């Protein structure tokens, strides 16, 4: 069409021909710039932050295999600092961090983990009631910390009835074996390592039912970006598929995590029944977060937020899009 237009102008007057060519050149440059921007936006890598030390991460490892994304270690602070577009963390951390950043959104439960407390029999711990007056190591203000509180409440005790000791997961098995603490509440593989370190002296305390939700989180700014939103939906679609494969054929996933965590395969296999990989967003997520909100508010020395504020932290729209486009 452009050639025909130039041909008609050429038949009229030479100086108009030059003008037409000039206009055509500008149009071509502008179109190239537009397409270049679109290509650049499409080529922008989705930045995915994950916990590199937990078994819960396995569906994401499987989902991004062969996908052009930037996978790094990280938790919600990496998200709020703008270093990643989506990131894993337990539901407690969305509650903790959203007081300053209410734009955080929980968009998918990647995994669920059933906690247990590992205690020393030689410290006089046989049941949850025996934890009174004991020193319990955990990661402070985490889902593992909340599990201590929930377990104590189940036997009529409160957090003040024990001494909670903040400690890195990797240091817990040795500290428990030395007698520096009497029990630990932590995720895997640290919990199983603690149990194995104690051997016959290990006592497992199972409190009230509680599943840690290991979620994928993002922000409203990411959701408002059409290109990034589409990339996140595609990632969720892949996680859903990878999670199904993990449930149906766990052996490859177990072998992958043993390699990623540099632990014996037997350790991963032993703890595997404690995990679920739903790749969904359950209706009970809000109730779990509402239960934790007053506890976290006390830790942060603030008033608990209303139900509406907690509800707003959960966005199932991307999961629904991913499910609809499978």
Least confident of 13-27, 48-62, 199-213: 13-27
pLDDT of residue 25 exceeding 70, the answer is no
pLDDT average, residue stretch 239-259: 97
Q: Which strands make up the sheet holding 104-114, listed edge to edge?
A: 69-73, 46-50, 86-90, 211-219, 104-114, 275-276
CA distance 232 to 220: 12
pLDDT band at 122 (very low <50, low <70, confident <90, very high): very high
Q: In this predicted model, what pLDDT tens digit does every residue of 154-183 receive, in sequence order?
A: 999 999 999 999 999 999 999 999 999 999
pLDDT, position 44: 67
Q: In this predicted model, what pLDDT tens digit does every residue of 144-153 receive, in sequence order?
A: 999 999 999 9
**Phi-psi region at 156: left, alpha or beta (left = phi > 0; alpha = psi -120 to 50):** left
| pTM of the predicted model over 0.75 | yes
pLDDT of residue 27 exceeding 90, the answer is no
Neighbouring-strand partners of residue 117: 185, 205
pLDDT, position 283: 82
pLDDT average, residue stretch 24-35: 38
Residue with the bigger pLDDT between 235 and 13: it is 235
Determine what percent of the chain is predicted with pLDDT higher than 70.
87
pLDDT of residue 17 exceeding 60, the answer is no
């Amino acid at each position: 069409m452009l050639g025909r237009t130039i041909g008609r102008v050429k038949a009229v007057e030479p100086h108009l021909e030059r003008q037409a060519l000039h206009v055509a050149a500008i149009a071509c440059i502008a179109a190239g710039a537009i397409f270049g921007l679109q290509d650049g936006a499409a080529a922008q890598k989705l930045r995915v932050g994950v916990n590199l030390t937990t078994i819960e991460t396995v569906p994401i490892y499987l989902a991004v295999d062969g996908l052009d994304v930037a996978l790094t270690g990280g938790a919600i602070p990496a998200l709020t600092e703008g270093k990643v577009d989506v990131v894993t963390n337990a539901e407690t951390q969305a509650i903790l961090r959203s007081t300053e950043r209410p734009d955080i959104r929980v968009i998918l439960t990647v995994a669920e983990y059933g906690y247990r407390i590992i205690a020393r029999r030689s410290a006089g711990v046989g049941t949850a009631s025996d934890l009174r007056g004991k020193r319990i190591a955990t990661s402070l203000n985490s889902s593992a910390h909340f599990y201590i509180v929930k377990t104590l409440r189940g036997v009529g005790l409160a957090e003040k009835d024990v001494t909670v000791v903040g400690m890195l997961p990797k240091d817990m098995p040795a500290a428990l074996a030395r007698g520096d603490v009497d029990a630990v509440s932590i995720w895997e593989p640290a919990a199983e390592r603690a149990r194995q370190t104690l051997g016959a002296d290990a006592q497992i305390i199972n409190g009230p039912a509680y599943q840690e939700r290991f979620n994928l989180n993002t922000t409203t700014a990411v959701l408002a970006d059409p290109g990034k939103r589409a990339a996140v939906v595609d990632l969720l679609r892949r996680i859903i598929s990878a999670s199904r494969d993990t449930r149906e054929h766990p052996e490859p996933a177990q072998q992958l995590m043993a390699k990623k965590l540099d632990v014996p395969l037997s350790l991963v296999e032993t703890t595997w029944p404690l995990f679920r990989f739903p790749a969904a967003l359950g209706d009970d997520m809000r109730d779990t977060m509402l239960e934790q909100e007053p506890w976290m508010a006390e830790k942060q020395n603030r008033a608990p937020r209303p139900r509406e504020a907690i509800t707003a932290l959960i966005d199932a729209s991307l999961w629904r899009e991913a499910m609809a486009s499978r």
